[in-house]
Amino acid sequence: MNSEGSTATGRRSPLAKLLSALPPGTQLVIGGTVLLGAASYVHLMAAGYTLSKPAMASVSLLWTILMSVGLGLFFPVEQELTRIVAARVVAGQGVAPVLRRTLAITVGMLVLLVGGMAVAVGPLADTFFDGRKDMVLALAAAFVAMAAGNVTRGVLAGLGRFGAYGTQLAVDGALRIAIAVGCAVGHVRSPLVFALILVVAPIVAALVTLPPLLSGVRQGPQAAWSALTSGLAPLVASTLLSQVVVNAAVVSTQLLAPDNAALVAGLLNAVVLARVPLFVFGSLQASLLAGLSSTAAAGDRAGFSKLLGRTCVVVTVLGLAGGIPATVLGPWLIQVLFKADDVLGSLDFLLMSAGTLCYMLAMVLGQALLVLHRHRLQLLGWALGTVALIVITLVPGPIATRVCLAYTLGSLTAVVCMFAAVRLTFLREPPAAQAGADPSARPSLVDTV
């Protein structure tokens, strides 16, 4: 390298150094993730300025349920696909059998979910959507759209095609912004129209990225059903519980104060604002899981540990960078951006921001446990976190403060449990091959499927 290149490298900005610590491919996804995160704000802002408070509360609850139940069920499918496909790529095996059987599992999950919603459409409409059954139908369609996006992104991330992964996120986000702004300009007053944005945008985005996905899928050894489902079941349970922790504030408030639509809508706005770092963290997750899976499959414990440690540092910086402004400006911003009532204070935002930082750290440690096939230890961490959240929520006191505190302490409990689990797992594993040894002789930390 010439002296000029050395100088340039030596004078990298702090941002460049921070980005270099991220897993390979992360920067390709960041643009799409930022756009999709911004789309959530534009979508909710447009709805908040256009809809009445009860209608906005319905959209808020639909969004929250989709993010809780939908992500809880189908994000694990994406994670397992990413892990298994990445391991197969390292082993030189085709992924078509994995994709076919994962699609069958996903369709089965959708049939059970949507079928259950059809049976209970009346009670669901009365409890969450002011009696509107069309909102329940929109929620069911949004579940289908989310499943399609998670399956396609899982394969793309496992194949290392992060350009296509980022494209899907960008198309999804751009469509949400365009349709939401169009609805606001057209003074659309129907919550159903704003709900259907969550159906149309992800479906179109998934279709756009089908060609690069299919071009990377080739035949290979058959995947055993047990290998696909044995880890998926506890992972689904873990993710559902994690989504309970991160989204419980809005639903808990609806159940505790069903007549306070302003507080329900305001809490969703606050949750979205305090979770800005979490949207950015989404760009890190896919490449983190693929990177951890690849190093584990290669038996590179040192690389695994280094990647995990660097990611925790990046997440901490990210949490502080987003949390401090949210704490100071949050009560004012939700009134300006979302037309929310003055129902929350700086303490509520401080608790939410601290909870978001703990939640992201728990997600990182959970990814490590997933790759190490310690699915049940991840589940235990989120189960204990959920117990802590429920206990705090039921303690007497102001509703807003206790649901925010429950989020913080629930996430912190999960972090402590999963950190201990990762440490114990590494202490019990045999030492990896010494540096300089033949990489092909290293024992894999995981099995391919």
Would 76 be classed as within a structural domain? yes
Asked if residues 386 and 245 have their Cβ atoms less than 8 Å apart, the reply is yes
Task: Return the pLDDT at 17.
Answer: 55
Task: Return the pLDDT at 419.
Answer: 94
Would 403 be classed as within a structural domain? yes
End-to-end Cα spacing for the chain = 42
More confidently predicted of 437 and 198: 198
Please state which of the ranges 130-134, 346-350, 422-426 shows the lowest mean pLDDT.
422-426
Number of C-beta neighbours around residue 216 at 10 A: 18
Does the pLDDT value for residue 386 go beyond 70? Answer: yes
Residue 24 — left, alpha, or beta (φ > 0 → left; ψ -120 to 50 → alpha)? beta
Task: Return the pLDDT at 409.
Answer: 95
Confidence of residue 157 (pLDDT cuts 50, 70, 90): confident
Task: Return the pLDDT at 232.
Answer: 79
Would 370 be classed as within a structural domain? yes
Exposed (0-12), middle (13-18) or buried (19+): which is 139, by Cβ within 10 Å?
A: buried
Asked if residues 404 and 249 have their Cβ atoms less than 8 Å apart, the reply is yes
Task: Return the pLDDT at 228.
Answer: 74
Q: Residue 137 and residue 122: Cα distance in Å, rounded?
A: 11
Number of C-beta neighbours around residue 182 at 10 A: 13
Does the pLDDT value for residue 24 go beyond 80? Answer: no
Mean pLDDT, the chain, as a whole number? 82
Q: Residue 415 and residue 248: Cα distance in Å, rounded?
A: 18
Long-range contacts of range 425-431, CB-CB < 8 Å, 24 or more positions apart? Answer: 425/369, 425/372, 425/374, 425/377, 426/301, 426/305, 429/301, 431/301
Please state which of the ranges 1-5, 43-47, 89-93, 190-194 shows the lowest mean pLDDT.
1-5
Looking at residues 417-426, what average pLDDT do you find? 88
Contacts of 185 (CB under 8 A, 6+ apart): none
Contacts of 120 (CB under 8 A, 6+ apart): none
> Among positive and negative, which fits the CA dihedral 250, 177, 185, 195?
negative
Please state which of the ranges 24-33, 53-62, 341-350 shows the lowest mean pLDDT.
24-33
Give residue for tokens 């009670």. 123
Taking only the tens place, the pLDDT of each residue in 49-70 is 888 888 888 888 898 889 888 8
Task: Return the pLDDT at 221.
Answer: 80
User: Averaging pLDDT over each range in 42-56, 178-192, 248-262, 325-339, which range is the top one?
Assistant: 178-192
The runs of H, that is alpha helices, within 51-190 are 53-65, 71-91, 96-119, 121-128, 133-159, 162-185
Q: Residue 207 and residue 367: Cα distance in Å, rounded?
A: 28
Confidence of residue 440 (pLDDT cuts 50, 70, 90): very low
pTM score above 0.75: no
Would 436 be classed as within a structural domain? no
Please state which of the ranges 377-386, 400-409, 427-436 shows the lowest mean pLDDT.
427-436
Would 254 be classed as within a structural domain? yes
Reduce the DSSP state of residue 398 to 3 states and report it: coil
More confidently predicted of 408 and 341: 408
**Encoded amino acid at 128, one letter:** F
Q: How far is CA 188 from CA 113, 177, 199, 200, in A?
A: 30, 15, 17, 17
Q: Residue 386 and residue 372: Cα distance in Å, rounded?
A: 23
Q: Residue 392 and residue 395: Cα distance in Å, rounded?
A: 5
Q: Report the candidate in 405, 44, 448, 378 with the shortest Cα–Cα distance to residue 237.
A: 378
For residue 373, which phi and psi values (nearest 5 degrees)? Answer: 60, 35
Q: Report the candidate in 374, 116, 413 with the shortest Cα–Cα distance to residue 241.
A: 413
Confidence of residue 431 (pLDDT cuts 50, 70, 90): very low
Does the pLDDT value for residue 297 go beyond 60? Answer: yes
Please state which of the ranges 106-115, 122-131, 385-394 shows the lowest mean pLDDT.
122-131
Would 130 be classed as within a structural domain? yes
Confidence of residue 11 (pLDDT cuts 50, 70, 90): low
Structural domain boundaries, residue 69: 20-430
How many domains is the chain partitioned into structurally? 1
Q: Residue 146 and residue 203: Cα distance in Å, rounded?
A: 8
Looking at residues 396-425, what average pLDDT do you find? 91
The total number of residues shown for the chain amounts to 449
Q: How far is CA 236 from CA 68, 79, 165, 229, 363, in A?
A: 12, 10, 22, 10, 14
Vertex 419 angle, CA 414 and 422, to 5°: 125
Q: Report the candidate in 38, 50, 449, 6 with the shortest Cα–Cα distance to residue 283.
A: 38
Does the pLDDT value for residue 137 go beyond 90? Answer: yes
Would 2 be classed as within a structural domain? no
Q: Residue 78 and residue 229: Cα distance in Å, rounded?
A: 13
Confidence of residue 12 (pLDDT cuts 50, 70, 90): low
Contacts of 132 (CB under 8 A, 6+ apart): 58, 125, 191, 192
Confidence of residue 203 (pLDDT cuts 50, 70, 90): very high
Would 440 be classed as within a structural domain? no
